[in-house]
Structure 1
Amino acid sequence: MATNRAHRRCFRERKDYLAQYSDAQLVERFRLDSAGVYFIESLIAHEIISSSQKNHAVSPIQKIFLTLRFLATGKTQLCNGDDMGVSQSTVSRAITATLRSLSSQRIVTQFIKFPQNTPDIRKNQEEFFSLAGFP
């Protein structure tokens, strides 16, 4: 017997990892401490904030945690969503937005510099070799 009842959305409680875990525990679970998470948030929050706060929108810090957990553990998006209290599709969108922002030209050029001339290239080669025997 089919019913015409409207599907009610169920919003699950989301964890506050910064309040729940110490810096050492954050590093174990996400590979960054709170200062690292806040640093990433300061870089990209304005790019990954939801345009609306309807339907319990995921905050930038939550998107960062979802992305870090996925990268740190290789857990499936479904498991990460269960941990945070969001759906798998929300995890997917959060990871995509966060990684797109972190790999933007603005961020990449701020932190990654390639040597442009022969002396600088040779210096980098020598430093890599002295650090780990990397030719």
Structure 2
Amino acid sequence: MAMISTGDGDDLLDFSNRLETEDQEMSMDRAPDLDNLQDGEIIERYRFDRNGIDFLVALLGQSIQPKALRNKALSTKQKVLITLRYLATGPIQLNDADIHGVSQPTVSRVLSQVIAALSSPELIRRYIRLPRRIEECRRNAEHIRGIARFPSVIGAIDGTHINIVAPHVQEEIYVNRKGQHSVNVQVVFDGSYNIMDVVCRWPGSVHDSRILRESGLFHLFENGHMPQGFHLLGDSGYPAKW
């Protein structure tokens, strides 16, 4: 690996700012204008509608907004759009860069910044949480009963495989039953598709039942820390316990 030196820390910062400024000036002319897209076209490209995008912009504004505008820094909305387009359409950063009028290194930096902000403990605690009070459980159960007529169910549980690039270490344990490299992610969601719990640390070869058995969720139910009489709904890969 070669390293290019541009001098001291201030010189390196100026060099980085110049590169980003070039990208930002391009983006002023070439960034997609959502006003020219129909609602369905926006969802197709970004997997969020206008309101969803505006919500993310407001939510992340303080954490990813530029510290200064003297270099025509990318706005929070531009960063959100770059990230959503990449997550929605595939793993080629250069395509995302061309669409939004920036360079591939800028896309990489933006992805790291936005995903880190979305993964902050504060946001996780605010939006991903199990109902722990009996009143919350009753509301969830009534909602799901109204949808599918299942009694006393507060959420559904399932595993989903997120494909990854084959790792260099223990590559074989990430191969799932379809022969692809993945991470097996356990998700629990309510009747409104709100995520209530997520476990995303197991390789693709691990069975759903083992992920549940070794999760904090399992111990909450097993040790009586959840209100009694309520259940999670899963497929045949899960034991009939609660």
TM-score (norm 1): 0.78
Matches within 5 A, 1:1-135: 9=22, 11-12=25-26, 13-114=29-130, 116-117=220-221, 118=224, 119-120=226-227, 123-125=230-232, 128-129=233-234, 135=238
* Secondary structure in 1 matching 2:113: helix
Structure 2 counterpart of 1:111, one-letter code: Y
Larger relative contact order (CA 8 Å, sep ≥ 6) = 1
TM-score (norm 2): 0.46
Structure 1 counterpart of 2:55, one-letter code: F
Structure 1 counterpart of 2:60, one-letter code: I
Q: How many residues are matched?
A: 123
What 5-or-longer segments of structure 2 have no aligned partner? Answer: 1-21, 131-216
* CA distance in structure 2 between the partners assigned to 1:88 and 1:121 by the alignment: 52
CA RMSD of aligned residues (A): 2.3
* CA distance in structure 2 between the partners assigned to 1:123 and 1:40 by the alignment: 33
What 5-or-longer segments of structure 1 have no aligned partner? Answer: 1-8
Higher strand share: 2
Using a 3 Å threshold, how does the CA distance of structure 1 residues 19 and 31 change in structure 2: closer, same or farther?
Answer: same
* CA distance in structure 1 between the partners assigned to 2:231 and 2:237 by the alignment: 11
TM-fit CA distance, 1:92: 1.0
Identity across matched positions, percent: 31
